[in-house]
C-alpha cells in the first residue's frame, strides 16, 4: 500500500468524521488524507471520480440506507474500494453490503487504529488484485485491447442501450489479408508484431466512444456508436483499410497486410448480439471473396446504396472542382404593383454526358455527405456576384433569394464566410434574402435561431419556405427575424380542385399577415390562381405563369424586356 492514502469519509455526523481523523492520526507508517462528505446524494460522483484510494461509508442515514449508492457504484464499474460502517453488528446488513459491492464491514464503536489500518489496507490490496485479475480475464495479453469476452459484454450493453433509446450503432468484423504469409515467411514473432501494429492502428481510427477488440488470431471487431448514416460508416471502413495497408517495418523488412471488413448495423442487420456478430462475419466473408482489401454491408441493398452515394459524392466534389454547377433564377413579383422585386437562385448541375439535373436528383446526397456546405458557399458567392450585375441593369430595388440548408447552419464558419462574401461583392442591406424550409426550422429551432440573429445584423432578410408543411412555433415566427413566408407548393396545386385547400390557403395568408409577415405564393401557373391569390391579399408570387426559371443571361434579357411598361402578365 502507498505511503499516502486519500480517504473519502461519507457520514452526516461531524463528530464521526473527527473521531475517525483522530484514530488515523495514531497510524505512523502511512500518511492519511481524510475528506468529509456529509450528503449521501452527493457522494456517488466523488466515489466514481477515482480521486480517492478508499471510501468509508456510513450505511444508515436516518430512514434511508446506502444500499442504492453501493449498487449504483457497482453497476458503474467503480474502481475505488468501499468499506461500510454501522453502529452495531447486523448479519443481514453485512451480507447485503458485501453483495452490493462493499469490500469490508466495520462496527463504529469497535474501531481502533489497528483494525482501521488493516481494513483499509486489505480493501485497497483486494481491489487491486481484483482489477488485475479482471484485466487478465478481459484483455488480450498480446495487444492489451479488449478480448472476445469483454467485447461480447460491450456489444450486449450497446444492444440494450440502442433498444431502450431507439438509436443505432455499427459492428465491424475485420479479418487481416496476407497474415498467414507473414507467419510463414518471417516467423510467428513477426506475426505477433503485425497483430500489435494493427491493434494500434485500429485504435487510432476510433473516437473515445468507440471500442476495438481482438477476437482471436488475426480477427478484430470494432463497435462504433452514434454514426449518423451509412455513408459515414463506409468512410470509416475505408479509413481502417487505408490505415491497415500502410507498410510496417518488421526486423528490417517492409511488410504489408490488408483487411476485409464485414459491417452490420443495428437494428437492420439484427436485434441481438448473436445475430449482429453472425451477419457481420457473413459480410466479412463476402468482402474476402473480392481481390484486395474491401468492405461489405450485411444487406446487399444497403451496400449498393452506400456505393451509389459514395460515387455521387465523388461526382459532386468533382462538379465543384470543374465548375459544373450553374444557377438559374426564378423572378418574384409584387402583386400590388406588378413589378419584379426579387429573384430566387436555383441550383442546377450540368453533369457531363447527362445534362442539366435539378436539385431533387442530387441534393439529398449532398446533404447527407456534407458536400452541401461547400456547394452552398459556391451558390452564395455566385448569387452575390450575379445580383450586383443584374442590379446595374434594373432601375428598381432587386433582391436575391438564396436557400440555406441545415448543414450550413451547423458550420461554425457560416457567419464569418457570409460576412467575407458580402464584403467581396459589396452587398448592401436588403440585397440578400435567405430561405429556410419550415421543417428544418421547426426541427432545429435553437441552432437556426442562434445563427439567424448575427446574420440579420448584415441586413439579411429571412424567408420561411414550405409554410404550412411543418410545425413551427408561432411564437418563434413572431420573435425571430423572419420577414416573409412562402406557402407550400402542394397547397397551391390543389386550388382549382379543392374548396378546402382554398379556405386553408386563405387562412394561412391571414395568419401570416396577423404575424406581420409578407406572403409569397410559388408555383403559380394560371391567371385564375394569380387573380384568386391577389384577391386573398397575397403579397408576392412566382411561378411559370410569370416566367420559367432562367439562366443568368436569359434572366438579364427578360428583365430588360419587362422594364417596358404595361407587361400584361405582371399586371
pLDDT at 139: 87
pTM of the model: 0.60
pLDDT tens digits, one per residue of 146-205: 998 889 988 998 999 899 889 999 999 999 999 988 988 888 899 999 999 999 999 998
The 10s digit of each residue's pLDDT in 346-388 is 999 999 999 999 999 999 889 888 899 999 999 999 999 999 9
- pLDDT at position 448, please? 80
Q: What is the DSSP string of 134-169?
A: HHHHHB-TTT-SB-HHHHHHHHHHHHHHHHHHT--E
Return the CA Rg of the chain.
Answer: 34
**Mean per-residue pLDDT, 525-536:** 89
| CA distance linking residue 186 with residue 252, whole number of Å | 11
- Do 167 and 117 contact (CB within 8 A), yes or no? no
- Burial-class residue 211 by CB neighbours within 10 Å (0-12, 13-18, 19+): buried
**CB–CB of 58/43 below 8 Å?**
no
Q: What is the pLDDT of residues 483-529, one digit of tens each?
A: 999 987 677 766 666 666 688 888 889 988 998 999 999 888 889 88
Taking 90 as the threshold, does the pLDDT of residue 141 lie above it? no
Burial of 245 (0-12, 13-18, 19+ CB in 10 A): middle
pLDDT at position 1 over 60 = no
CB 48 within 8 A of CB 73: yes
Q: 33-42, 109-118, 376-385, 489-498 — which is least confidently predicted? A: 489-498
Question: Does position 567 have pLDDT exceeding 50, yes or no?
Answer: no
Amino acid at each position: 500500500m502507498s505511503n499516502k492514502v486519500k480517504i473519502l469519509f461519507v457520514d452526516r455526523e461531524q463528530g464521526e468524521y473527527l473521531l475517525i481523523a483522530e484514530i488515523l492520526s495514531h497510524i505512523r507508517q502511512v500518511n492519511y488524507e481524510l475528506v468529509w462528505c456529509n450528503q449521501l446524494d452527493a457522494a456517488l460522483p466523488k466515489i466514481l471520480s477515482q480521486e480517492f484510494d478508499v471510501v468509508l461509508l456510513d450505511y444508515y442515514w436516518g430512514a434511508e440506507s446506502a444500499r442504492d449508492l453501493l449498487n449504483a457504484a457497482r453497476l458503474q464499474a467503480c474502481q475505488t474500494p468501499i468499506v461500510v460502517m454501522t453502529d452495531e453488528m447486523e448479519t443481514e446488513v453485512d451480507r447485503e453490503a458485501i453483495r452490493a459491492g462493499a469490500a469490508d464491514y466495520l462496527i463504529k464503536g469497535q474501531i481502533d487504529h489497528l483494525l482501521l489500518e488493516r481494513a483499509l489496507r486489505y480493501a485497497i490490496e483486494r481491489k487491486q488484485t481484483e482489477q488485475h485479475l479482471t484485466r487478465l480475464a478481459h484483455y488480450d495479453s498480446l495487444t492489451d485491447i479488449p478480448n472476445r469476452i469483454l467485447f461480447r459484454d460491450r456489444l450486449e450493453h450497446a444492444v440494450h442501450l440502442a433498444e431502450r433509446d431507439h438509436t443505432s450503432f455499427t459492428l465491424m468484423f475485420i479479418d487481416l489479408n496476407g497474415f498467414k504469409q507473414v507467419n510463414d515467411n518471417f516467423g510467428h514473432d513477426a506475426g505477433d508484431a503485425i497483430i500489435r501494429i494493427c491493434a494500434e492502428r485500429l485504435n487510432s481510427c476510433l473516437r473515445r466512444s468507440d471500442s476495438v477488440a481482438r477476437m482471436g488470431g488475426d480477427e478484430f471487431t470494432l463497435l462504433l456508436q452514434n454514426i449518423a448514416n451509412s455513408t459515414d460508416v463506409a468512410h470509416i471502413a475505408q479509413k481502417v483499410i487505408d490505415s491497415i495497408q500502410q507498410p510496417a517495418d518488421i526486423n528490417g523488412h517492409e511488410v504489408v497486410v490488408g483487411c476485409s471488413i464485414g459491417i452490420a448495423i443495428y437494428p437492420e442487420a439484427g436485434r441481438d448480439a448473436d445475430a449482429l456478430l453472425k451477419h457481420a462475419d457473413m459480410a466479412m466473408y463476402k468482402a474476402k471473396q473480392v481481390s484486395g482489401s474491401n468492405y461489405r454491408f450485411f444487406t446487399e441493398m444497403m451496400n449498393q446504396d452506400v456505393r451509389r452515394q459514395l460515387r455521387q459524392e465523388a461526382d459532386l466534389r468533382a462538379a465543384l472542382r470543374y465548375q459544373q454547377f450553374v444557377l438559374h433564377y426564378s423572378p418574384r413579383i409584387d402583386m400590388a404593383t406588378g413589378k419584379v422585386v426579387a429573384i430566387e437562385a436555383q441550383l442546377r448541375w450540368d453533369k457531363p454526358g447527362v445534362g442539366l439535373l435539378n436539385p431533387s436528383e442530387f441534393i439529398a446526397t449532398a446533404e447527407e455527405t456534407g458536400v452541401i456546405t461547400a456547394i452552398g458557399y459556391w451558390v452564395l458567392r455566385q448569387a452575390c456576384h450575379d445580383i450586383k450585375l443584374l442590379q446595374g441593369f434594373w432601375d428598381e430595388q432587386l433582391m436575391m433569394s438564396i436557400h440555406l440548408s441545415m448543414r450550413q447552419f451547423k458550420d461554425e464558419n457560416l457567419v464569418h464566410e457570409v460576412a467575407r462574401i458580402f464584403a467581396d461583392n459589396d452587398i448592401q442591406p436588403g440585397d440578400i434574402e435567405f430561405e429556410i424550409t419550415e421543417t428544418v426550422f421547426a426541427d432545429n429551432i435553437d441552432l437556426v435561431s442562434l445563427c439567424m440573429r448575427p446574420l440579420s445584423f448584415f441586413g439579411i432578410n429571412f424567408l420561411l419556405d414550405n409554410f404550412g408543411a411543418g410545425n413551427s412555433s408561432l411564437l418563434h415566427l413572431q420573435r425571430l427575424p423572419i420577414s416573409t413566408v412562402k406557402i407550400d407548393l402542394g397547397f397551391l396545386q390543389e386550388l382549382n380542385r379543392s374548396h378546402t385547400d382554398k379556405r386553408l390557403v386563405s387562412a394561412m395568408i391571414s395568419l401570416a399577415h396577423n404575424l406581420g409577415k409578407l406572403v409569397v405564393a410559388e408555383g403559380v401557373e394560371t391567371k385564375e390562381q394569380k387573380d384568386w391569390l391577389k384577391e386573398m391579399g397575397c403579397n408576392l408570387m412566382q411561378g411559370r405563369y410569370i416566367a420559367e426559371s432562367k439562366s443568368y443571361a436569359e434572366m438579364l434579357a427578360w428583365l430588360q424586356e419587362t422594364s417596358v411598361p404595361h407587361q400584361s402578365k405582371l399586371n
